[in-house]
Amino acid sequence: MTKVLLIGNGAREHAIAAALARSDVEILAHMDKMNPGIASLASETSINTLMDSRKLPDTTGIDYAVVGPEGPLSVGVVDYLISKGIQCIGAVQEAARIETNKSFARRILDDVAKIANPKYVAARSVDALKKFEDSVGVENVVVKPDGLSGGKGVKIFGDHFDNRDDLEKYAITLLSKHGIVILEEKLIGTEFTVQAFVDGTSLELMPLVRDYKRAYDDDKGPNTGSMGSYSKANHMLGYVTDEDLTTASDIMLKTVIGIKKRTKLDYKGILYGQFMKTDKGIKVIEFNARFGDPEAMNVLSLLTTSLDDVFQSIIDGQVIKPDFEKKATVCLYIVPDGYPGPDVAQDSPISLIPGIDSEVYYASVYDQEGVMHTTGSRALGLLAKGDTVEEARSIVYKDAERVNGKIRFRSDIAKGVEE
Ligand code: AMP
Ligand code: GLY
């Protein structure tokens, strides 16, 4: 039987584990915290930091590894595994910079699809950032750290600042900390996520997903890892045309080729494109070098081709076209009360009342004497399928009422979606 090392312990990795288990492979799960959902699907578990290759379990007998989160990609866990003869679903460190280094991603796009970039500057001085503010108008500025921030580092004028001083204070804090800060023109439009399986030279797309990053209803409040997502039965989104999708797919393929040109490295694994449809065309918000979380749950729950076959085809350099069920999905994140603020209800009991029809993916919970507890992060993702988004939505929200504990969730995920 094929044996796969799965690295990571979030709901995304739980969804990967569930899809791998359906393809009848043996899973060795390497987690930095025990995820009870993943553990129930794995034949072996190893608990240790994900961020240090020296702490990986013995890889004897492993056929290939799947690296779920960006953290281990950013420190070169894939490079290490390849040096040990283990092929990986996940980009090598230098290629993963498409996610881990925002200025690198913007430069690649400048090379291959400049039109998809907003105006931006990778500022290394206060002068440079002030000059950019003057050129686009401070009310049109988005401030981002150059490196990883778990989706929480991006701050936008009008949403997170209402004056130049506050924006500059934040930009200068990032500049002092990292020696660089990214300022971008604020794009206006609707976002969509495109995920693709990539074999180094070609890619195969997964159904489109809409993600909801803001903490509160009506897209208010700070950015979070995400509060929920949906996908439609036809694998498109109402506001994305075939032409838009072709443009986005083309940008992603050119990006893979652009990475190869700059780094001489094949990009193998998952490429995630966060796009915005604007009145100036399709723009790239960011790339990730991994499945989205929660978007992995939307697409992997629909995958009817064996995930093992898809992964093996990536390793062989000839990615196969996967099939997905023609169903709509809605994923809703259940988070502890107070998330993502400072007074989050962590270490608090959480339980599920029997009768839940959604798939339950554990994100960050732990078991203490047989009782599940929250941490300070998102607790679990509920994923429902339906013939329509509304049907999936009604299942997920019915089930959310069956989660007991000091928890909350957004009430407007996939609300009023054009079917
Ligand atoms: P990121 O971590 O880069 O995906 O950014 C988090 C969120 O901030 C995105 O999903 C967008 O909603 C928003 N965002 C990032 N960059 C821009 C931009 N240039 N214009 C408008 N919104 C943005
Ligand atoms: N859903 C956003 C992310 O995975 O980064």
Residues in the chain: 419
Kindly give the number of the ligand 1 atom that is closest to the alpha carbon of 188: 21
Could you tell me the pLDDT band of residue 153, with boundaries at 50, 70 and 90? confident
Mean pLDDT to the nearest integer, 260-267: 94
**Which one of 185, 219, 234 terminates a domain?**
185
pLDDT of amino acid 223: 86
User: Residue 199 maps to which CATH number?
Assistant: 3.30.470.20
Domain assignment present for 414: no
Contact of 310 with 322, CB cutoff 8 Å: yes
On the question of pLDDT at 333 being above 80, the answer is yes
Atom of ligand 1 nearest to the CA of 185: 19
Cα of 176 to ligand 2 centre, how many Å?
Answer: 26
- The domain boundary residue, chosen from 185, 205, 221: 185
Question: Average pLDDT, whole number, for the chain?
Answer: 96
Once rounded to an integer, what is the mean pLDDT over residues 176-200? 96
Per-residue pLDDT band at 326 (split at 50, 70, 90): very high
CATH number of the domain within which 163 lies: 3.30.1490.20
336 with 399, same domain: the answer is yes
CB-based burial label for 91 (10 Å; 0-12, 13-18, 19+): buried
Ligand nearest to the CA of 363: 2
Question: Residue 288 C-alpha to ligand 2 middle, in angstroms?
Answer: 8
Nearest CA to ligand 2 atom 4: 292
Asked if 255 and 295 sit in the same domain, the reply is yes
Strand ordering across the sheet containing 203-205 = 203-205, 189-199, 268-278, 281-288
Q: Is residue 105 part of a domain?
A: no
Q: Rounded CA gap, 193 and 211, in Å? A: 7
- Residue 283 and residue 196 share a domain: yes
Residue 419's pLDDT is: 82
- Give the atom of ligand 2 at the shortest distance from the alpha carbon of 288: 5
- Domain identity same for 306 and 374: no
Q: Would you say residue 284 lies in a domain?
A: yes
d(CA 60, CA 69): 23
Q: Are strands 87-89 and 64-67 parallel, antiparallel or unpaired?
A: parallel
pLDDT digits (tens, 9 = 90+) for 99-126: 999 999 999 999 999 999 999 999 999 9
Enclosing domain of residue 364:
329-408
Ligand 1 nearest-atom number relative to CA 153: 2
* Percent of the chain at pLDDT exceeding 70: 100
Strand partners, 417: none
Classify residue 419 by its DSSP letter: -
Ligand 1 center from residue 412 Cα (angstroms): 20
User: Rounded to the nearest whole angstrom, what is the distance from the C-alpha of residue 174 to the centroid of ligand 2?
Assistant: 21
284, 316, 348 — which closes off a domain? 316
**Which of 149, 152, 213, 214 to probe ligand 2 with, by most ligand atoms within 8 A of CB?**
213
Q: Could you report the per-residue pLDDT of 52-69, keeping only the tens digit for each?
A: 999 999 999 999 999 999
Residue 8 sits in the same domain as residue 81: yes
226 and 344 fall within a common domain? no
Q: Kindly list the protein residues whose Cβ atom lies closer than 6 A to any atom of ligand 2.
A: 151, 211, 226, 288, 292-293, 295
Residue 200: what are its φ and ψ, rounded to 5°?
A: 110, -35
Based on the structure, what is the number of domains in the chain?
A: 4
Residue 165 has pLDDT above 90, yes or no: yes
**pLDDT value of residue 250:** 98
**pLDDT score of 151 more than 70:** no
pLDDT band at 225 (very low <50, low <70, confident <90, very high): confident
Q: Are residues 68 and 142 in the same domain?
A: no
- Taking the centre of ligand 2 as the mean of its atom positions, its distance from the CA of residue 58, in whole angstroms, is 30
Atom of ligand 2 nearest to the CA of 294: 1
Closest ligand to 295 CA?
A: 2
| Prediction pTM value | 0.96
Is residue 202 domain-shared with residue 275, that is, in the same domain?
A: yes
Find all residues with CB under 8 Å of 206, minimum gap 6, and list them.
194, 195, 196, 197, 299, 322, 324
Ligand 1 pocket residue status of 154, Cβ below 6 Å: yes
